[in-house]
A and B are shown apart, each in its own frame.
Chain A
Amino acid sequence: MFYREAGIFKTSYAADMALLPAPGARWSAAAFAVLFVVVVPLTCGEYALTILNLILLAAVGAIGLNILVGYTDQVSIGQGAFMSVGAYTAANLITRLNAPFWIALPAGGLMAALIGTVVGIPSLRIKGLYLAIATLASQLIIQWTINHVPFISGGSEASIQVPPPVVFGIKLQSQVQMYLFLMFFVVLALVAAQNLIRSRIGRAFIAIRDQDIAAEIIGINIFRYKLLAFAISSFYAGVTGVLYTYYLGIANYEQFELDVSISFLAMVIIGGLGSMLGPIFGAAFITLLPIVTRHVLDSVGGLFVARADLANFVPSLRLAIFGALIIFFLVVEPEGLNRLWRNIRTWFRTWPFSY
């Protein structure tokens, strides 16, 4: 975390290409791994784990959206719909064919990627806000389709119940088990995204983001890479939908409506567009903020008025504070929480002799 690169010499190509080149980075990564995989599950109670699980779920989707919005600069407000595609694909596979999780997860992702590619086609001609509206249309079309095709939506209320995933013969039911299950996929998603961005594909995405005409002139196939960005991002969304379905035990499209798409976009923007840790910070921020503000309001407000009267103003006040804090953080650091984190890191790196 707080280490210096000075004095580290890379003597082989392998060392140069390593994901974590500095020994300090490797140590801190290992420390974080121990913290999150060993210490947290052993020490945290069920309630804390529930919150962590919600953050992990949001993180996968946000990492995926960041590839599209942050690295390729294609605005999408259809992430919720792609999640529902993944969720219903998996739910149908699980309930009809008894599919295990290692089939349901990629299948949900692939189906979402397929639909996402189709939705991405307008991006070849339109950009920015216009593209956002086009993806908004996809959100509505997908919702309508799920609602009106009983083959997809199952019985009444468009809900399909699914049994918990079975891993190595263990039914994952408790929060700890779900936490480890979700954590595995968050790490997978993060490492995959990091490597993707370092590859030829990732460099093409960044070139398109920075100046798409220039990218085309230097020989990048815009058609291919824009659609690929949509496909990959939707794949992540689909997987998120499947994980969400497993976590809740039910697929229901009202869990993936427009406000979900918008809150994912908010996570990516607040976290920091085009950064690896940004979406995770954003997911944690957007998930935690309403919870923390309410706990604070409950305990501080509880000193002045009765608990029952709190209910009269806490919900509305919480929304106002939520909005205000988002504005505050974006004004303090327009490049998002990730940049804020890096500023803190840089400051401590040279502390106490910063000159």
Chain B
Amino acid sequence: MLHGTPRNLAILAGAMAGLWFAGAANAAGQKEILIGAQCDRTGPTQITGVIFCPAVQDYVNLVNSQGGVDGYKIRIDELDNGYQVPQAIEEYERQKQEGMVSTLIWGTPQAEALNPRLEADHIPGTSPGFGAAAAANGAKYPYLFPIAATYWSQAGAAIQFIKDKLGGSLKGKKIAYLYYDNPAGLVPMPILRQLQQIEGFQLRTFAVPAPGVEMGAQILDITQRYRADFVVMHVFGRAPAVALKTLKQSGYPMSHVIGFVWASSEADIKAAGGFQMVQGYNTMQFAGVGDNYPVDQQIIAMYKKAGKPPPPEMQSSVYYNRGILDAALHIEAVRNALTLTGGKPPTGEDVKKGFEMIHGFTLGGLLPPLDITPSDHEGGGWVQIFQVKGNGMVPETKWFRGYRDIILKTVNASS
């Protein structure tokens, strides 16, 4: 046995080398486009990642199973940065070396740190629902695409929604803004203050310090002393569930609570005690909710064809559909880029232009009517409100946006 060991090792090494070459030859023989993805299935944002990342993979598999994009297979290289900036930098460089044409970014500090590199390398990146709100300005952030409503647009839409709910006028109404006390939580403030001036409502802000698992005092203040007419919630992680639970316990009507996009998933509602506990809660979404969209059905069909049950992640359709949104926009941008290059492999610059050509691409309503242009990388700032009803969420509004002129003014002023 001892004598045989080196020989066994040699055989093993030979086999590994053979597989390596086989893989390389396979990759070279096939027309392939690489999209880099950073997606966290570990670390502080894993609650989102464990649903979001498989959705990205599922959508790419679906596109490839239908023949890819203009004869090109899409390869998505998913790496987990654990919400750490140094790792995000390393992974970006690794994927750049492998020749990616665009990248899915994960996390606000990561988006900020990668932005200068995106510009230097001419590689477009997406940061749906996070990152700097000012990145909506394509002139200032040419290679960063928020592609979903920024916190500013969410604030505008929330006030618009409240105005419609409270009968068309906000004069003298009391709005409470409950927010996580970190930079992201403070972002919507300038918009809320401006709208307060215009609409004449009262606004009080209630900070929730990290880690956001105790907010009895703030909720008591909102419901008993301030007696808010409407509560706007912009909290993350475990905080949304705690906020919902505490609001419910204090008897506050859930139909007068609206949550920003990271307080709006099935997981948050389940952690708060289930759908029955928070009937009427208004959730803000930048991608559709539920699995009735054609693309979800196609993915289920793809799984069925392989003899597998539908992906369990689809039960959490909020994050699942957001993953589809992110992946689908990248692939659509690649498709547009291929029309620009006439079928030749696109560069990052081409894909950037491809992003800026996205218009009227909705995947049957899962995506808002985005209109991404060289100056507007947010695509319009659309959101849709889904309300908790029965054992699920139903659309309460169509895709809409609020106070677009004021948002755009703020975006332009900040750059």
Which residues of A are at the interface with B, using a C-beta cutoff of 8 A?
A: 45-47, 50-51, 54, 57-58, 144, 147, 153, 155-159, 161, 173, 248-250, 252-255, 259, 287, 290-291, 294, 302-303, 307-308, 311-312, 314-316, 318-319
CB nearest to B56 among chain A residues: A311
* Interchain CA distance A80-B76 in the complex, whole Å: 34
CB nearest to A291 among chain B residues: B90
Interface majority SS (helix, strand, loop, mixed), chain B: helix
* Interchain CA distance A147-B183 in the complex, whole Å: 6
Q: How far is the CB of B179 from chain A (nearest CB, A)?
A: 12
Tell me which residues across on chain B come within 8 A of A308, comparing CB atoms.
57, 60-61, 76, 78
* Interchain CA distance A318-B184 in the complex, whole Å: 29
Tell me which residues across on chain A come within 8 A of B53, comparing CB atoms.
311
* Interchain CA distance A254-B85 in the complex, whole Å: 9
Q: How far is the CB of B81 from chain A (nearest CB, A)?
A: 9
Top 6 A-B pairs, shortest CB-CB distance: A315-B80, A249-B116, A158-B183, A254-B109, A50-B93, A311-B78
- The reply to whether the CB of B115 lies closer than 8 angstroms to some CB of chain A is yes
Known: A156-B414, A318-B80. A54 touches B86 (CB 8 A): yes
Known: A248-B116, A291-B90, A308-B57. A156 touches B40 (CB 8 A): no
* Interchain CA distance A311-B61 in the complex, whole Å: 14
Tell me which residues across on chain B come within 8 A of A252, comparing CB atoms.
108-109, 112-113, 183
Q: How far is the CB of B88 from chain A (nearest CB, A)?
A: 10
- Asked if residues A250 and B116 are in contact (CB atoms below 8 Å), the reply is yes
- Asked if residues A255 and B85 are in contact (CB atoms below 8 Å), the reply is yes
7 example contacts (A-B, Cβ-Cβ < 8 A) are as follows: A51-B93, A156-B132, A156-B134, A253-B183, A255-B113, A311-B39, A312-B54
- Asked if residues A50 and B41 are in contact (CB atoms below 8 Å), the reply is no
Tell me which residues across on chain A come within 8 A of B139, comparing CB atoms.
none
- Asked if residues B41 and A315 are in contact (CB atoms below 8 Å), the reply is yes
- The reply to whether the CB of B186 lies closer than 8 angstroms to some CB of chain A is yes
- The reply to whether the CB of B310 lies closer than 8 angstroms to some CB of chain A is no
Interface majority SS (helix, strand, loop, mixed), chain A: helix
- Asked if residues B183 and A159 are in contact (CB atoms below 8 Å), the reply is yes
- The reply to whether the CB of B16 lies closer than 8 angstroms to some CB of chain A is yes
Known: A153-B183, A159-B112. A294 touches B79 (CB 8 A): yes
Q: Mark B40-75, 1 if CB is under 8 A from A, else 0.
A: 111000000000011001001100000000000001
Contact of A287 among B16, B19, B86, B115 (CB under 8 A): B86
* Interchain CA distance A173-B121 in the complex, whole Å: 12
Tell me which residues across on chain B come within 8 A of A249, comparing CB atoms.
113, 115-116
Tell me which residues across on chain B come within 8 A of A287, comparing CB atoms.
86
Q: How far is the CB of A36 from chain B (nearest CB, A)?
A: 19
Q: A155-B414, A307-B75, A308-B61 are in contact. List 10 more A-B contacts (CB 8 A).
A: A157-B108, A157-B131, A157-B133, A161-B116, A249-B115, A253-B183, A290-B82, A311-B41, A314-B80, A315-B42
Tell me which residues across on chain A come within 8 A of B109, comparing CB atoms.
252, 254-255
Q: How far is the CB of B308 from chain A (nearest CB, A)?
A: 12
Tell me which residues across on chain A come within 8 A of B80, comparing CB atoms.
311, 314-315, 318
- Asked if residues A46 and B113 are in contact (CB atoms below 8 Å), the reply is no
CB nearest to A146 among chain B residues: B183
Q: Mark B130-151, 1 if CB is under 8 A from A, else 0.
A: 0111100000000000000000
Tell me which residues across on chain B come within 8 A of A47, comparing CB atoms.
93-94, 96-97
- Asked if residues A173 and B120 are in contact (CB atoms below 8 Å), the reply is yes
- Asked if residues B42 and A250 are in contact (CB atoms below 8 Å), the reply is no
Tell me which residues across on chain A come within 8 A of B89, comparing CB atoms.
50, 54, 248
CB nearest to A157 among chain B residues: B183
Tell me which residues across on chain A come within 8 A of B84, comparing CB atoms.
259
- The reply to whether the CB of B373 lies closer than 8 angstroms to some CB of chain A is no
* Interchain CA distance A308-B77 in the complex, whole Å: 8
Tell me which residues across on chain A come within 8 A of B192, comparing CB atoms.
none
Contact of A157 among B41, B76, B87, B187 (CB under 8 A): B187
Tell me which residues across on chain A come within 8 A of B54, comparing CB atoms.
312
- The reply to whether the CB of B23 lies closer than 8 angstroms to some CB of chain A is yes
Q: How far is the CB of B30 from chain A (nearest CB, A)?
A: 13
Tell me which residues across on chain A come within 8 A of B276, comparing CB atoms.
none
Contact of A45 among B57, B60, B78, B97 (CB under 8 A): B97
Tell me which residues across on chain A come within 8 A of B396, comparing CB atoms.
none
Tell me which residues across on chain B come within 8 A of A316, comparing CB atoms.
41-42
- Asked if residues B181 and A147 are in contact (CB atoms below 8 Å), the reply is yes
- The reply to whether the CB of B182 lies closer than 8 angstroms to some CB of chain A is yes
Q: In the complex, which of the residues A249, A302, A308, A315 has the most CB atoms of chain B within 10 Å of its own CB atom?
A: A315
